[in-house]
Structure 1
């Protein structure tokens, strides 16, 4: 380590995840020292409610750190070393439509999967590209760690339209699952695991998991997942929302399809879409659950901190995914070569998959960013699924780029969770109307 201190910008400062990220940065300030912490959001009113509370947090725990919250891109992006991007274009109002419109037609409604994920992707592309452009204009040496959803489509867009940018697309879902794996086998956390994993974002599999002494943990993990999925229960899962409990438990059904690997939880939407729809309420989706619980709690706690003028007794806690982000920043800043997952151009990492696919694989992270590790060949089952889903993502970006209705119809029709092109068109026509203020005009 050296005596450098870093300036970090959280793009999407009005997110309900922001307080957890701030606490994580403060908890790890000795290994990743800060000199400045900035928030940027186009919704100034929403951001200010979060920022007022976080400013108190920072002043109480690290008064030497300069704090700035702004809606001005130049102020935000000037003099930053790392940008943590977590934007949601269209906010929860549009997420709700992403979920409810497909469900009206008997199709999975989910923010990163199927028609809803494609709709969200077309909204996210210009937003994330805009952030990249701000960063390159005002802090060209900075790195962007992007975990704005849907990460797969966003990653394909950044590969295509900003190929030389210092952006790393990441996801916290495998990270959370690996923390659960560590709990199952009695280890501290995911950093005690060595693993091999490949796929697309929200669409991947672990082929090997060891501890740091080389012990094979797959037999123990498979036995557990076959019975329980990734559900831990008890104190570990205290406060876990009902929709996530169902998702973690359903991993056992996905695992049954290929007991040689361990699956990402999101594969349930592709393997068992009928079951997912049967257990979904088209009038009360995940968006409603988030607004009723997490959003209410976060903004309520922020208001309480501001009213009391202290955060000493805050209910906010560090976020698991934020710990991963700090690990990434530290690896880049200090060239540690830590092994972590990222979404990068395949280029041979999975040898029998499209070299231009944006795959999620382990990488060694250092001063020059990620160095992909070879995962060998995808098995036939995985190869077929990955090839299909990769084409869906590429078609979605094609549609955004060329303003093509047909390409978007093809993307939705090709999605494994959509039964046929007729249903795909019906959903698309409703999504076109819903997204008229966000999508390019299709022709």
Structure 2
């Protein structure tokens, strides 16, 4: 990038700092898919000004093996495109207008304004509606569902979970959603899977068998503060909403705050980074509540699934090391079975593997924490898509995602039951 281009970029940044306020507007911002073809081009892409890396999640993981999805703000967009051209770096526009894509995510809600939305599983729901839904569905199935408080968030919100069970002595599978606030398809899936499981009990033979043999712990909103902020202030907010003495910026990446090689590669000590690990392990009350619950129920939990987006991956432990996980053969067997079940529904292709090789290095992740303390089978499930919409998956994809991912969870449930029966 030449000097005149850098000056234009700097002026654009200053203009934004003086004029941008209120709820963040992404009008004119674009998501580019960039194809670096050499180490020099990789370094150039890593230094793009104000780039919000979507895939991979941070600049250090950019390499010549995979395309890079990155959001570029409108005030630097022209200069970034010009500089990519000057460096002969190929790219394409993935999302033409980010705000338009965001508006498209909620158009169904807008068309239903004034109507009951809480139990509409084909639209995205804010915190208040999800909380009400949890209370309502627990009241609707009182013999199967226990609605209880897991903890309290940084901003004082009650964190709730549902225990769905026919026998308290059964082994369990733990499912959580919304570790990262901007991944709205995650809590949408937690809602629809819960509906499918409860409606299927007594009518669907497989669901009936599984719920007679397995307890489901489901946490739809593990990061309620961040999720609330993504609705009200900044749609692409990822982290929690904590702020500690000496920190310049708000928020900790909850999926870097767990006790699994905490502070290692794939996490940041910079509070302004989207992968900020927090000041100490389990500093986030949301993470502490999750970890305490997992430790307290360790003798029963046979499987743990943390639902994220996007990439269409079943990410296995451990993500903080390239050394093969001790039980990788078992992990891969069940991951393959789930990926096969997903494919049978709509032909959606999921890949799977140890996190450090299938995605990127992560330290402080929840699936590795659960695995390291003794949960036999854990994964991060990265839902649709592979880049067309990224974090802004339209409402009309909620139901197909729900159906195919329910197939995966049914497979994981069978795995949990099998692991329980074959335990030492």
Coarse TM-score class (shorter-chain normalised): under 0.3
Q: Give the TM-score taking structure 2 as reference length.
A: 0.27
Structure with higher helix content: 1
Q: Which has the higher contact order (CA 8 A, sep 6+)?
A: 1
Q: Give the TM-score taking structure 1 as reference length.
A: 0.26
